């Protein structure tokens, strides 16, 4: 439906034509127009009856820039019906979170988790509600019980959870994030999230340090240089050998290289032939992936300026520092606007060029 035709249909007096209201509300949902959905459905949806129009209206109430007072009664009626599924409970939690009522939001997220305990997005939201309510011990205890192995949800949400756990000292989050990023190199938010995780130890005292590797061993990226041939760049990994460039330690050439340091040489044999090799570079596979992402991200996603490269002239870091200060002031202004005026996290995060979950983590950690 064309924009002008849609606007005329919404403005027209359609009375109690339920079918037309549903059709227009569905169109409004696809257009991301929650206020229109509320206008069309608020007086015509039974909050006790479980159908798609109730779901649309619930989602719309949780997405408006300013929460509707009518949403409070609507979600209270849903709660009294006791027939909400995991998604509807999660939506109810977000509505109350946008109202700046984290204590009211937390039980909705908890009920959603009771139905879908491994949903990463709901786990993040529940942690955020607890943190913003000042229940920091309960929030930490909840995070301590989160298991990444059965995590369910979009890759960017899983990466955000890995970031959060890593910042809270969970070592196993690094391997989880590495595999996630290595398998989703075309997902901008995943790549950006992995970069943030790797940089966390520089800005967050609770984050573990990235393992340092000085010898050819499992977990290392190794650049081997045979004479008169191109270098062979590999990651020695016992479990993720289906990833490009990943080989196990029982590889014939790797066997001869194990324990060597950068600059060491060794030979391999094949029948009567001998082949000289040199270990040219060794680094942690985690750091190697970060460097690859940083090297290619700007060209791969030219329209997004969240991560970009800069050239340092004569060791002068002033332009970089000025850029960082300007960026920090911009984020601080967004945070101040969010705290002063109720609006969806997504709208604020998008205005700052970031993602919703990263901004939620920032708010929860900053109080």
Q: Can you spell out the DSSP letters for 206-224?
A: TSPPPPP--BS-TTEEEEE
- Domain map (residue ranges) of the chain: 1-84, 220-289, 310-366
In this prediction, residue 81 carries a pLDDT of: 92
Please give the DSSP secondary-structure letter assigned to residue 83.
-
Give the whole-angstrom CA distance, residue 123 versus residue 358. Answer: 14
> Cα dist. 184→32, 159, 194 in Å?
27, 11, 11
Model-level pTM? 0.79
87 pLDDT more than 80: yes
Give a three-class secondary structure readout of 133-167: CCCHHHHHHHHHCCCCCCCECCHHHHHHHHHHHHH
Binned at pLDDT 50, 70 and 90, residue 89 comes out as: very high
> Which residue has better confidence, 114 or 269?
114
Average pLDDT, the chain: 87
Closest CA to 160 of 208, 214, 123, 206: 123
State the CATH architecture for 220-289: Roll (3.10)
pLDDT exceeds 70 at position 276: yes
């Amino acid at each position: 439906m064309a924009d002008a035709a849609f606007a005329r249909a919404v403005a027209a007096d359609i009375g109690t034509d339920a079918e037309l209201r549903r059709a227009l509300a569905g169109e409004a949902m696809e257009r991301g127009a929650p206020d229109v959905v509320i206008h069309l459905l608020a007086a015509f949806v039974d909050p006790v009856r479980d159908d798609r129009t109730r779901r649309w209206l619930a989602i719309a109430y949780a997405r408006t820039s300013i929460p509707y007072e009518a949403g409070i009664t609507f979600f209270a009626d849903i709660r009294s019906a006791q027939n909400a599924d995991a998604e509807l409970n999660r939506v109810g939690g977000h509505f109350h979170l946008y109202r700046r009522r984290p204590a009211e939001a937390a039980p909705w997220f908890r009920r959603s988790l009771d139905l879908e305990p491994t949903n990463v997005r709901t786990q993040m939201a529940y942690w955020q509600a607890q943190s913003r309510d000042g229940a920091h011990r309960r929030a930490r205890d909840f995070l301590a019980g989160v298991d990444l192995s059965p995590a369910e949800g979009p890759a960017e949400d899983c990466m955000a959870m890995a970031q959060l756990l890593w910042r809270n000292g969970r070592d196993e989050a690094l391997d989880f994030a590495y595999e996630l990023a290595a398998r989703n190199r075309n997902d901008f938010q995943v790549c950006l999230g992995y970069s943030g995780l790797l940089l966390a130890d520089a800005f967050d005292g609770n984050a573990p340090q990235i393992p340092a590797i000085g010898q050819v061993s499992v977990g290392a990226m190794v650049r081997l240089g045979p004479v008169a041939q191109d270098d062979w760049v590999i990651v020695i990994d016992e479990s993720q050998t289906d990833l490009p460039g990943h080989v196990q330690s029982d590889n014939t050439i790797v066997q001869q290289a194990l324990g060597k340091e950068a600059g060491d040489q060794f030979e391999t044999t094949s029948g009567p032939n001998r082949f000289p090799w040199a270990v040219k570079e060794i680094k942690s596979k985690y750091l190697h992936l970060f460097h690859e992402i940083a090297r290619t991200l700007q060209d791969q996603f030219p329209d997004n300026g969240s991560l970009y490269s800069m050239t340092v002239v004569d060791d002068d870091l002033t332009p970089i520092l000025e850029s960082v200060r300007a960026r920090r002031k911009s984020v601080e202004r967004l945070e101040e606007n969010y705290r002063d005026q109720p609006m969806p996290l997504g709208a604020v995060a998008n205005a700052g060029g970031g993602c919703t979950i990263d901004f939620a983590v920032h708010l929860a950690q900053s109080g």
